[in-house]
């Protein structure tokens, strides 16, 4: 009579099957979250595929539209640690006539609506020891 009874814990939850985690029929919050996630992935993919990437041919052939590639160049640090010779090979000769002794190269990038005050901007590469250390968009002195 005074023996303890051994009970089995039958109220234990059964583990969910994997497909039950993906059942969104009755959970509106999960449905909305899924819609936002899929929208984000699609928007990011479209932006990546249609963004203007840098190419040597487009840079040299259409100087008025270079501003379309500037963001890609700066974001990916394309010319960092390149030599002056490598930069000239890819971008062409800079505006300066005495570029061999210059510590920076300036390239015209065209007219861009995003520039404030209608200032003319240029793409500038800064050199130290014949290697690019920094790239930036600067105001043109011309």
Give per-residue pLDDT as tens, 112-137: 655 555 566 788 999 999 999 999 88
Q: Do 81 and 31 share a structural domain?
A: no
pLDDT digits (tens, 9 = 90+) for 21-45: 666 565 666 677 778 888 999 988 8
Q: Do 123 and 77 share a structural domain?
A: yes
Looking at the domain assignment, is residue 8 inside a domain? no
pLDDT at 69: 85
Q: How many C-beta atoms lie closer than 10 Å to residue 86's C-beta? A: 13
Q: Do 78 and 36 share a structural domain?
A: no
- Residue 138 forms beta bridges with which residues? 122
CATH number at residue 104: 3.30.1450.10
Looking at the domain assignment, is residue 10 inside a domain? no
Looking at the domain assignment, is residue 9 inside a domain? no
What is the pTM (predicted TM-score) of this model? 0.60
Order across the sheet with 121-128: list the strands.
104-108, 121-128, 131-139
Q: How many C-beta atoms lie closer than 10 Å to residue 66's C-beta? A: 22
Q: How far apart are CA 91 and CA 81, in angstroms?
A: 15
Looking at the domain assignment, is residue 82 inside a domain? yes
pLDDT at 132: 92
Q: Do 77 and 22 share a structural domain?
A: no
Q: Do 60 and 36 share a structural domain?
A: no
Q: Do 35 and 85 share a structural domain?
A: no
90-110: average pLDDT: 83
pLDDT at 80: 92
pLDDT at 3: 67
Burial 107-120 (b: 16+ CB within 10 A, else e): bbbbeeeeeeeeee
Chain Cα centroid distance, residue 43: 14
Q: Do 93 and 26 share a structural domain?
A: no
pLDDT band per the 50, 70, 90 thresholds, residue 142 = low
Q: How far apart are CA 57 and CA 33, in angstroms?
A: 43
Has residue 141 got a pLDDT over 60?
yes
Question: pLDDT: is 110 or 66 the higher one?
Answer: 66
Could you list the residue range(s) of the whole structural domain that residue 70 is in? 56-139
Has residue 100 got a pLDDT over 90?
no
DSSP state at residue 120? -
C-alpha closest to that of 133 among 71, 83, 93, 69: 83
Q: Do 34 and 61 share a structural domain?
A: no
């Amino acid at each position: 009579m005074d023996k303890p009874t051994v009970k089995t814990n039958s109220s234990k939850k059964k583990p969910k099957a994997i497909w039950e985690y993906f059942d969104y029929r009755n959970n509106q919050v999960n449905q909305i979250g899924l819609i936002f996630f899929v929208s984000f992935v699609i928007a990011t993919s479209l932006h990546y595929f249609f963004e203007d990437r840098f190419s040597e041919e487009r840079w040299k052939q259409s100087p008025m539209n270079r501003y379309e590639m500037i963001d890609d160049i700066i974001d990916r640090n394309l010319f960092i640690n390149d030599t002056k010779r490598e930069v000239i090979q890819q971008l062409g000769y800079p505006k300066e006539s005495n570029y061999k002794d210059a510590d920076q190269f300036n390239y015209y990038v065209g007219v861009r609506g995003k520039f404030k005050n209608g200032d003319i901007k240029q793409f500038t590469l800064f050199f130290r020891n014949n290697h690019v250390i920094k790239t930036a968009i600067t105001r043109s002195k011309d």
